[in-house]
Amino acid sequence: MRIANIRLKLICVVIATIFAGCAHYPDNPRLLSVSPSTGYRYSVVRQQPEKDKPFLILAFSGGGTRAAAFSFGLMEELRQVVYAAKDGSKRKLLDDVEIISSVSGGSFTAAYYALFPERFFNEFPERFLKADVESALFWRLWNPYNWFRFVSKDFSRIDMADEYYNDEIFEKKSFGDLLSKPRGSIPFLVLNATDISIAHRFEFTQDQFDLLCSDLDGVKMSRAVAASSDFPVAFAPLTLNNYKENCGALPKWIEPALDREKNPKRRYAEATAAQSYRDSDRRYVHLMDGGLSDNLGLRGPFQAVTTNDSPWSILKLANLGQLGRLMVIAVNAKTTKQRTWDEESRPPGIGAVLTVVTNGPMDDVSSDSVEMIEDHFGQMKQLARTVDSCNKRITKDCPNAKQIINPIITDFTFAELTFDDIPDPRLRRCLQELPTTFYLPRKTVELLRVAAGYLLMHSDDFVTGMKRLDPSWSPREVVIDAKLIDEVCHSTP
Amino acid sequence: MDEFFQCPCSGKGDVILDGSNEGPNKDDADNLLPKQCNAGQHVISLECSSGRRCSPKQVEIKDTDPISPMQVAFQCE
């Protein structure tokens, strides 16, 4: 009798293992034919921009809940920035957000805003920022049902996290739900991950999915956010199917860009990466945290601002005369930890080394991105000034000569919000020491929100840009409560 | 750094850069409009307003500036 019972239990375990071993990540749907007028693309989601309105791009960095709360603080502050438009009406700057490009932790904020803009400010703090997502994921990991599912080669920890985000945060919404919203009502969302096979940025837009012959409309928002925040080691890579059947030709810029002799290295690399999705041996795409290729979410906007190759090229809008004022605000939740490793001869342990290996490259790429945007905007301003000076000289010296048409009519503003710019050394150190996790105490979340507002209102670049937009505008006073600082930073000397 | 080019032509039309419409080649006063692009090899054509098409040209655009943009000339045939 006892032996029969053990046998029965064993059979049950074997059956459960077999069925759970069939667990599979959600397949991204196949796309039969590429159509530039449908799918989740900038030109489909947004209206034609107006030259007189600011074209605002937000970039949200990685950094777990710290980054999500810091980005949320910026959104709260933007809601309060009201300026006088050219026609005299009052406008909220938040309504001018055209594009949000995000990475990792910042992707939770960006995706939630795009899906639920009307309840974002009331719901998101409780739904995500103040929730203990880390513990919730941990307990799902210890659920015996998931152990059986992990036996499958097609189901891993990141798919489990995807399920949690889908059920508990994003209400099972997909990119198709974003497309069903009225055109122009929400910013264009660009969630960035990293394609680890080619070490290249991968964005969740239909233009990117065209390369895979896959339809993004049927992909859940949670899947994109999971890929964007798929932190190395903690999670396994996330898999997408690459169908690559003949759904349509590659974008036309790729062929001329593949001429190695006649193109800059960066352009050639972009074209090679795009073309690789149609290689016969690429049947799947493996993604990890967007921070591995760009921890600020700025690479996509940089490509859009500097090339006509981007599917959401901003340079093209300039050529069409639709871009009068470009503003980019980057929320950089980067931390700078003080190490004590050099106080003794014993080298740091494996945990410390892993932290350096995973975070080091992300921080380097981020610094490069900021410099690239700043340099580019600086160069464009200088070129525009040169043409203006030339025209003044022509007017003075050759009054009958024709003026030179200045192609650069755009006003450029770039502002970066970073903890490094907090003047109070104790608060600065306290924020820089915050961990990268999916749980932070409620007071810490509050502090990050206020800090974002404070930094925006104290950003010289932002204030100067706003003054050029509306000379009567002035920044509001944001005070960070000393009691809140004491409560959060009590252990910081 | 951005590059600059113009498409002189006896007629008016839309500049097509690597398959993407970048707007008219001339303004209402018939002045040539400079266009911005990234450096490298591009396929440029002109979609003439008269309905006629110009043969696309493959050109390498580099080392230009807004005062002396590269000239990519067409004739509406």
Coil/strand/helix, residue A85: coil
On whether the CB atoms of residues B76 and B46 are closer than 8 A, the answer is yes
CA A456, A461, A464, A468 torsion-angle sign: negative
Chain A nearest CA to B41, separation (Å): 5
Sign of CA dihedral A242, A248, A249, A250: negative
- Is A40 exposed, middle or buried, given 0-12, 13-18 or 19+ CB atoms closer than 10 A? buried
> Which residue of A lies nearest to B69 if distances are taken between CA atoms?
A407
Q: What amino acid is encoded at B48 in this protein?
A: C
Statement: residue A358 has pLDDT above 70: no
pLDDT given for residue A367 in this prediction: 76
Q: Please list the residues that pair with B16 across neighbouring strands.
A: B21, B45
Q: Is the pLDDT of residue A289 over 90?
A: yes
What is the bridge-based pairing of β-strands B20-24 and B35-37?
Answer: unpaired
- Report the alpha-carbon distance of residue A148 to residue A142 in Å, rounded: 11
Contact B66 A252 (CB under 8 A): no
d(CA A309, CA A49): 19
Average pLDDT of the residues of chain A: 92
Which residue in the set A259, A319, A406 is minimally distant from B41, CB to CB? A259
- The minimum CA-CA distance between A82 and chain B, rounded to whole Å, is 32
Note whether A313 contacts B20, CB cutoff 8 Å.
yes
| Whether B36 and A256 lie within 8 Å, measured CB to CB | no
List CB contacts of A20: < 8 A, sequence separation 6 or more. A145, A148, A149, A151, A152
Q: ipTM score of the complex?
A: 0.96
Q: Provide the pLDDT for residue A140.
A: 94
Give the CATH number of the domain where residue B37 resides.
2.60.40
Tell whether A282 lies on the interface with B, counting CB pairs under 8 A: no
Q: Exposure of A335 by Cβ count < 10 A (0-12 exposed, 13-18 middle, 19+ buried)?
A: middle
Phi, psi dihedral angles at B16 (to 5 degrees): -110, 115
| Predicted local confidence at residue A18, as pLDDT | 56
Cβ contact (<8 Å) for A320 and B22?
Answer: yes
Contacts 24+ apart (CB under 8 A), A142-148: A145/A20, A148/A16, A148/A17, A148/A19, A148/A20, A148/A21, A148/A23
Interval A89-118 mean pLDDT: 97
pLDDT tens track for A438-470 = 999 999 999 999 999 999 999 999 999 999 999
* A478: amino acid identity, one letter: V
B20 touches chain A (CB under 8 A): yes
User: What's the CA gap between A363 and A296, in Å, rounded?
Assistant: 9
pLDDT of residue A1: 56
Q: What is the mean pLDDT of residues B24-37?
A: 95
pLDDT value at position A220? 98
pLDDT 10s digits, B39-61:
999 999 999 887 877 889 999 99
| Beta-carbon contacts of residue A282 (< 8 Å; ≥ 6 apart) | A197, A242, A244, A276
Q: Check residue B77 and give its pLDDT.
A: 66
Which range marks the domain in which residue B24 is found?
Answer: 2-76
Residue A246 has a pLDDT of 84
Cβ distance A267 to B38 less than 8 Å, yes or no, reads yes
Quickly state the pLDDT bin for A342 (edges 50, 70, 90): confident
CB contact under 8 A, A309 and B18: yes
The CA distance from B34 to A41, in Å, is: 27
Q: Which residues pair with A240 in a beta bridge?
A: A285
The count of domains in chain B is 1
Cβ pair B10, B32 in contact under 8 A: no
Going by pLDDT thresholds of 50, 70 and 90, the confidence category of residue A82 is: very high
Is residue A402 within 8 A of residue A383, CB to CB? The reply is no
Chain A partners within 8 Å of B41 (Cβ): 256-257, 259, 262-263
Q: Is the pLDDT of residue A325 over 70?
A: yes
Q: At what angle do helices A105-115 and A221-228 cross, to 10 degrees?
A: 160
CB A375 within 8 A of CB B55: no
What are the structure tokens assigned to A493, written together?
A: 């000397």
What residues are paired with B3 via a beta bridge?
B37
Q: Does B59 touch chain A (CB under 8 A)?
A: no
Give me the mean pLDDT over the A482-487 stretch. 96
Extended beta strands in A4-132, E state: 54-60, 82-84, 90-92, 97-103
Question: Where do we find the tokens 């650069």?
Answer: A408
Q: What is the DSSP letter of A464?
A: H
